[in-house]
A = this chain, B = another copy of it.
Amino acid sequence: MTVQSVQRALTILTLFSHRRPVLGISELSRLMDLPKGTVHGLTRTLVDHGFLNQDEQTRKYRLGLKIHELGIVLAGTLELNQKAAGPCHQLSRRTGQLSRIGIWDGGSVVITLNTHPNPMPVLPHQVGPRIHAYCSGIGKAILAFLDDKTVRQYLSRTKMTAFTPLTITVKKKLIEDLKTIRQQGYATDREEAVQGLGCIGAPIFDRQGRVAGAISLSGPVNQILGEQTGVLAGEVLSTAAEISRLLGYFPAIMETVEP
């Protein structure tokens, strides 16, 4: 049903990470518990297609540029990303804070856009490209507006570990939080993932009225979740609404036509 060698090849790719950018055959063969010969055949094929690069000197492997190409294709393809880019930039420029777009993908959130007002050379991916839903503004904004079935699945499958003293680790607490988020329309994250980091997140809806993702504004807690919260939340919400509109979502029409 599922092809073994392909499975193994893809696993090899996923073994490369920010922390382990370069790997050798022996290391891979150890990690995957497979004979070196087998791994060699797979890496060879991956190299042939540009998914891996082999250093001519060290003979070790790192991710190939083909992946970069595909990543570009994907990013340009993702409708949300395309439509959100402009508003997201404007939001971060108006507020002077980091604004991000995240997409729900099978139990966690993938950050697909990252804009900072003062051209910061290398954005510190503080929480990495894939982040937990239960402890982020983006994640909670999505969870709150996701269908019940998916949320229940998520809750049953997810282990909520604490990253800071303020991380929510009790499911009941989280469910309450989601209710509040639904009422006020936006989510807040007060140092739940990273110490000192505050965040406001709002959901983005697609043509069918389903959550497509979320947008967030984050920065130092006192700058985000203080007196200005009301203003900032308004900014985030209107930006989210604008993006939803670009995606073809018109709540007024939905409400009057649907029932």
Residues on A lying within 8 angstroms of B by beta carbon are 1-3, 5-7, 9-11, 13-14, 16-18, 21, 41-42, 44-46, 48-51, 62-77, 82, 85-86, 89-90, 93, 103, 105-106, 110, 112, 115, 119, 121-122, 125, 129-130
Contact = CB atoms under 8 A, between A and B. Distances in A.
Given A9-B9, A49-B11, A51-B10, A3 B42 contact: yes
Contacts of A44: 1-3
A73 B42 CA distance: 20
Residue of A18, A69, A73, A129 with highest tally of chain B CB at under 10 A: A73
B71 A21 contact: no
B106 A42 contact: no
A9 B3 contact: yes
Contact of A86 (B17, B45, B72, B122): B122
A27 B72 CA distance: 22
A2 B67 contact: no
Contact of A68 (B50, B85, B129): B129
B110 A17 contact: no
Contacts of A51: 10
B75 A42 contact: no
A130 B73 contact: no
Contacts of A76: 18, 122, 125
Contacts of A89: 119, 121
B9 A129 contact: no
A122 B74 CA distance: 14
A197 B9 CA distance: 41
